[in-house]
Amino acid sequence: MPSIDPERLLADLRTLRGIGAHGRGVVRPAFSAADMQARRWIARRYEEAGLEATIDGVGNVLGRSRNPGKALLVGSHSDTQPTGGWLDGALGVIYALEVVRALASDDATRVLAADAVSFQDEESRFVGCLGSRSLTGTLTPDIERGAVDRDGVTLADALRQAGLQGAPRLRVAPGRHAGFLEAHIEQGPHLDDAGMRIGVVTGIVGLRGMRFVFRGQQNHAGTTMMARRRDAATALYELAHRINQEFPKAAAERSVWTMGRARIEPNATSIVPGYAELDLQFRDASEAPLEAFEAIALRLVAEMNARGGVGIEVARARAPIPPTRMDEGLQEHIAAAAARHAPGKWQRMPSGAFHDAGIVAERIPSAMLFIPSIGGISHDFAEDSRDEDIVLGCQVLADAAAAILTAANARG
């Protein structure tokens, strides 16, 4: 089995952290100067590790193995949230580099073909998972057209400014890969709370969104009697509270739902609001609770609309993401490596956050490995993990990669 080099791994993670560093955090959004600098550095490291490195037309860094046979794709993303942590994405990118180096330095695994990748714009500056969509061929012109960041910059302008306008967009070669492995910090508290060190991801939760639009009648808050009011905010408060009362009855163990955005017009203390909006988002690893939640929300809206007064319309807020199951065979290889290096300290678990693996899984069997996030904190400068967990996770990934490739090439 290959042995990773803990010092080399941690040193590379810290170098990458230095590109776009802000205090303890990192500001390296997709296509920013820091992001492109990081991608050029990653490409050089890939070459030093013996890979054939390319930055493609959407900014993906792909390092292709020169070895023949079935290959394994390993990686994550190196772009960050606008105020991001140092490990979100970066961990999996440097793990991939180290796995390639570890495989190459062991006689038994030197012949295996591991490709490394750093995807672009997983964090949705323009298009969430832009890079993995592009590499796997599911990025449509429809998705790309009209993509702007929150400052109004278009994706096309960002590509031009990053010097990528002429570069070809790479696609994974059909049949080349036995699988895709993505390692990531958990971004939640489960592993840390339970004292576990490795999570073998069983699936990525699905997500649906609904937007409720409430149309009432704006009025004077002193002279309009209660019986005559058509108060959009009153309807919003009722629907939101009833959803929070009804959803637990249909929830699975890890179902979550959030109503984090509301808009009330004109939002003045002394005016009966005539218009309001409420966003509802819900996630689960299975379709059944998602179906049940949607049915409950629609039933509550129908009940309230039947009463009259405020009219409630329902719109799908975004394209639903179906739950994704991680490949069972790949999971077994990660689980076996975890059991070897962290006996009793690993568990299977779904991912509550979305990842590139959720995109890649549509085309290539995929699996994920989590290491603990201290305090469950992520998308924040304070995001961190313990060095010993970082090192352990990479060794488990390297073992799993070697086992997967050995098995695939024995079959193949």
- Helices (H), ranges, 162-223: 190-194
Residue 205, interface with its own copies (CB under 8 A)?
A: yes
Residue 215, interface with its own copies (CB under 8 A)?
A: no
Minimum CB distance to its own copies smaller for 24 or for 261: 261
- Rounded-to-integer distance, Cα 199 and Cα 176, Å: 27
Residue 240, interface with its own copies (CB under 8 A)?
A: yes
Residue 248, interface with its own copies (CB under 8 A)?
A: yes
- Rounded-to-integer distance, Cα 286 and Cα 250, Å: 12
Q: What is residue 310's DSSP assignment?
A: S
User: Which one of residues 33, 108, 221, 315 is an interface residue with its own copies (CB under 8 A)?
Assistant: 221
Given a contact cutoff of 8 angstroms between Cβ atoms, the answer to whether 46 and 123 are in contact is no
Query: Using CB under 8 A, which of the segments 102-110, 152-160, 176-184, 218-226 binds its own copies?
Result: 218-226
Q: Please, which of residues 320-379 interact with its own copies by CB under 8 A?
A: 352-354, 376, 378-379
User: Which one of residues 122, 123, 186, 356 is an interface residue with its own copies (CB under 8 A)?
Assistant: 186
Residue 410, interface with its own copies (CB under 8 A)?
A: no
Residue 189, interface with its own copies (CB under 8 A)?
A: yes
CA angle 152/125/210 to nearest 5° reads 90
Closest CA to 328 of 404, 272, 226: 404
Question: How many residues touch its own copies (CB under 8 A)?
Answer: 56
- Rounded-to-integer distance, Cα 277 and Cα 210, Å: 10
Burial of residue 204 (CB within 10 Å: 0-12, 13-18, 19+) is buried
CB neighbourhood size of 66 (10 A): 8
User: Which one of residues 5, 157, 246, 279 is an interface residue with its own copies (CB under 8 A)?
Assistant: 279
Residue 244, interface with its own copies (CB under 8 A)?
A: yes
Closest CA to 385 of 376, 372, 398, 395: 372
Please, what is the minimum distance in Å from the beta carbon of residue 409 to its own copies?
A: 36
> Which phi and psi (to 5°) does residue 124 adopt?
70, 35
Residue 226, interface with its own copies (CB under 8 A)?
A: yes
Residue 262, interface with its own copies (CB under 8 A)?
A: yes
Angle of helix 90-104 relative to helix 387-411, nearest 10 degrees, comes to: 60
Query: Using CB under 8 A, which of the segments 20-28, 166-174, 223-231, 396-404 binds its own copies?
Result: 223-231
Residue 268, interface with its own copies (CB under 8 A)?
A: yes
Residue 231, interface with its own copies (CB under 8 A)?
A: yes
User: Which one of residues 31, 126, 214, 257 is an interface residue with its own copies (CB under 8 A)?
Assistant: 257
Minimum CB distance to its own copies smaller for 171 or for 241: 241
Given a contact cutoff of 8 angstroms between Cβ atoms, the answer to whether 209 and 358 are in contact is no
Q: Please, which of residues 280-309 interact with its own copies by CB under 8 A?
A: 281, 283
Beta bridge partners of 52: 64
Query: Using CB under 8 A, which of the segments 40-48, 147-155, 168-176, 239-247 binds its own copies?
Result: 239-247
CA distances to 39, 214, 348 from 230, rounded to whole Å, are: 55, 10, 50
Which residues, in sequence order, are CB contacts of 68 under 8 Å at separation 6+? 113
Binding site for its own copies (CB under 8 A): 186-189, 205, 207, 209, 220-226, 228, 231, 233-234, 236-238, 240-242, 244, 248, 251, 254-264, 266-273, 279, 281, 283, 317, 352-354, 376, 378-379
